[in-house]
Amino acid sequence: MATSLPPLQALRALEAAARRRSFSRAAEELHLTHSAVSHHLRGLEAQLGVELFRRVGAHMIPTAAGAQLAERVRHSLDDLRDALDVARRATGAGGAARLEVSAMSDLLSLWLMPRLGDFYDQHPLIDLTLHMHADVVPPDPYSVDVGIWHRRVDESGFQIRKLLDDQVIAVCSPALLARYPDFTIEDLPTMPLLRFTRRSWRDFFEAAGLQADEPDRGPIFDDAGLMLQATLSGHGVATARLQMARDYLERGALVQLGHVRIPASLDYFFTWRAGHPREAAILQFYKWIKGQLRNQASTSIVRR
């Protein structure tokens, strides 16, 4: 006699609670109440005759049986979503593979967004849902199909590819530079300097051979994209990633000051779960990004 399957909502509650290590967070994600998640999981334990979670401090930690089942459910839910996408494409209800993408805010706003038209021209059967991420620490890697984050994820079972080795340069608007007609790199510390919470001017000064202290005045930004927008508006000089500023340098909207380059302290890692049911689409997205970066690296930039 076939064993009856538990309710799908109970299996979704198990997967979310195991991943989030919390019934409350699972409830928020699934738009349920805490008591509803608890009820689903108690019913699942009763049906299986096995304990699935244990409380450890403030966390609900899956047992070995709970973790194993949650992983199998996660794969099965991905397979089900993929099967539904295939069915939609076959019936004309939907023509594209959908990828949920989480990317660092500067890369998303300054680099990826202007190039999306080219991506869709080349890959019309892939739809991207884009989520901006600002924290250095990656979010839950299971929450999206693709992550482009500053740090590698700690979870096992993920494919991780470093996208590029970037460098940091000093940039400003042509209008600001025009106020310093005889500019040399020695003038840099006397110019209005924009500050970034994750980067020190001191490192750049040392690489340029300048005896200058960290500036104690000027706007402070915690988002590199916003700082570059302020630079474009002529509010000051910024240190910026070369690949994020390159488009503006090519158009003449920004000018690189001097020839000094220092290594970027944070990388970008392209991340996805190994064996993902839409891995073919993920790899197409990855190859397109790498191709764009190669093309970009071959172009010249404006320096002063």
What average pLDDT does the segment 66-77 reach?
88
Question: Per residue in 181-217, pLDDT tens?
Answer: 999 999 999 999 999 998 999 999 999 999 999 999 9
Highest mean pLDDT among 104-108, 170-174, 296-300: 170-174
Is residue 148's pLDDT more than 50? yes
1 has a pLDDT exceeding 50 = no
Task: Name the residue among 256, 260, 236 with its Cα closest to residue 300.
Answer: 256
For the chain, percent of residues with pLDDT exceeding 70: 93
Q: How many residues does the chain have?
A: 304
pLDDT tens sequence across 120-134: 999 999 999 999 999
CA 44 to chain CA mean position, Å: 35
Confidence of residue 160 (pLDDT cuts 50, 70, 90): very high
Tracing tokens 């790899």 back to the chain, one arrives at: 283
Can you give the pTM of this predicted structure? Answer: 0.73
The pLDDT, as a whole number, for residue 3 is: 66
DSSP 221-234: ES-HHHHHHHHHTT
Q: Left (φ > 0), alpha (ψ -120 to 50) or beta: where does 256 sit?
A: beta
User: What is the distance in angstroms between the CA of the first residue and the CA of the last residue of the chain?
Assistant: 79
Q: Are 269 and 211 in contact (CB under 8 A)?
A: no
Measured from the Cβ of residue 155, the count of other Cβ atoms closer than 10 Å reads 13
Residues in contact with 62: Cβ distance below 8 Å, sequence separation at least 6, in sequence order: 17, 18, 52, 53, 70
Q: Please tell me the distance from the alpha carbon of residue 139 to that of residue 148, in angstroms, as a whole number.
A: 11
Residue by residue, DSSP assigns 88-101 as HHHHTS--SEEEEE
pLDDT at 119 over 90: yes
Which domains, from first to last, does the chain contain? 8-74 (1.10.10.10), 96-164+267-297 (3.40.190.10), 167-263 (3.40.190.10)
pLDDT bucket at 86, cuts 50 / 70 / 90: low
Residue at token pair 């108690």: 42
User: What pLDDT digit, counting tens, does each position of 203-252 carry?
Assistant: 999 999 999 999 999 999 999 999 999 999 999 999 999 999 999 999 99
Q: Which structure tokens are listed for 293?
A: 């970066």
The residue-averaged pLDDT of 65-91 equals 77
Q: What is the pLDDT of residue 74?
A: 85
Eight-state DSSP code of residue 140: -
**What is the arithmetic mean of pLDDT over 153-182?**
93
Confidence of residue 88 (pLDDT cuts 50, 70, 90): low
